[in-house]
Amino acid sequence: MTSLAERHRTFFELHQSGCFVVPNPWDMGSARLMAASGAKALATTSAGFAFTLGRPDLGHVTRDEALHHAEQIVAATPLPVTGDLENGFGDDPAEVAETVRLAREAGLSGCSIEDTRMVDGNPAYDFDLALERIGAAVEAARALEDPFVLCARADGVINQSYGLDEAIRRIKAFANAGADLLYVPLVPDRESLQTVVASVTKPVNALAAGALTELTVAQLAAIGVRRISVGVQIARLTHAAIRDATRAMLTEGSFASFASGASGNEIDAMLAKGADGPQ
């Protein structure tokens, strides 16, 4: 099994050049399937994990629950794992710093921190507090023995609490504060993503959702994206399959959708390969 220190170094190196996709599993089984399919690293998904608990996303999972989940994903495969840790599970910068320290204890090679308040409507933190929170997270990350990739998120576009200009203002400040990776989820179009990438000199993460699903990995790389995440998209596909198959058998009496399922032998083989790492 690859040591955690090796995973942390590998994850850091992945962000130094090129472009890679980091799939988002929501349990140990999906993590192993993604590893067996060739993933170089994995990222937890706050929404995907919340769904497994029968809860919605954004503020409905505790820090202890999220970190225990992260430990399970880390244990599932030999790949490095980064954590979707929402707003760091606290408003105060000191709480965010503590979350970063606990993330490393859970085995994570990095994490993302949002500038979103976990209250009704999910408004953004004021600019100064948002920057102070990222600064505290950076300080905690730099105090760790091995590399820890800190992703600073400007979520006002996806949450409709501010526009692209403010998002760019924030990621520039987050970059200056020392964040390793910048992320503006769900930009409206290709041109907006190009603007985001051009606005900073540090690596940018793009979310393969909305208009960006029309682009390929090669096209996103050509724009200058360093990392591509899929967030909750694969978990939603899985839930759609559950919905559609269940509706069909309960309302139409049809089991026809079962024919498209993977065989038990194939899944067993992939689970074993994902647990062992690349062959």
The whole-number pLDDT of residue 131 equals 98
Task: Indicate the CATH number for domain 4-276.
Answer: 3.20.20.60
The whole-number pLDDT of residue 247 equals 97
The whole-number pLDDT of residue 59 equals 85
Map out the domains of the chain as residue ranges.
4-276
The whole-number pLDDT of residue 1 equals 63
Tell me which residue of 84, 145, 88, 81 sits closest to 117, measured CA to CA: 88
- Residue 152 gets which letter from DSSP? E
The whole-number pLDDT of residue 80 equals 98
The gap between the terminal CA atoms of the chain, to the nearest Å, is 12
The whole-number pLDDT of residue 279 equals 44
| d(C-alpha 68, C-alpha 173), whole Å | 31
Residues of the chain with pLDDT under 50: 279
The whole-number pLDDT of residue 278 equals 56
